[in-house]
Structure 1
Amino acid sequence: MDSGLLLSALNHNIQLPKVPTNFIWPKEYLVEAHEELQAPMVDLNGFLKGDENATHYASKTIAQACLNHGFFQSGQPWC
C-alpha cells in the first residue's frame, strides 16, 4: 500500500480526542516567537547505507544537537 495514501486516509478518518488540560501550558507561560525555530539538520544518508564513518559523524552531530537544542531534524523521508 502506498504510504501517502495510508497517511491521507488516516488524516481524514481519525478524530483526535480533546487534549487533557494537564497537558496544556497556562497562557502566562507561553511566549511570543520572534523568529522561526532553526532545528539542527542531521544527514542520515550514510548511516542508512551502513557507512561507518558517516554513522560516527551522524551520532556525534545528533548528540551535540540534543545537548544544545533537545532535538534535531533529518530531512530523510521515513515513509
Structure 2
Amino acid sequence: MPLLIRIIETTADATWTTVRRDLDRLHLGTFTGPTGPTGLFRQVTALTKPQRDLLAKPSMPAPKQIVALQPAPR
C-alpha cells in the first residue's frame, strides 16, 4: 500500500491526505419515487475542480454522473 500511495502522490503532485480528502467528497446517491412501484436512479455528485484535476493527471476518465437508471415496472 505505501508504494501505491507514493505513486498516487507523485502522479497527482499532491499529498495523500489532499488526494484522499478531495476524492472522499465524491458520493453516490440512490433516488426513488415516494410510493408505489416507481423507478430508481443512482447519481454521482458533480465533480469539483480539484477532483477533475486529480483525475486528469493520470488520464483517468471521470465517472458518469448517472450510474444506474431503472424505470418503474409496468
Do the two structures share a fold, i.e. TM-score over 0.5?
A: no
Higher helix content, 1 or 2? 1
Structure of greater Rg: 1
Larger proportion of strand = 2
For normalisation by structure 1, the TM-score amounts to: 0.25
Alignment TM-score, normalising by the size of structure 2 = 0.26
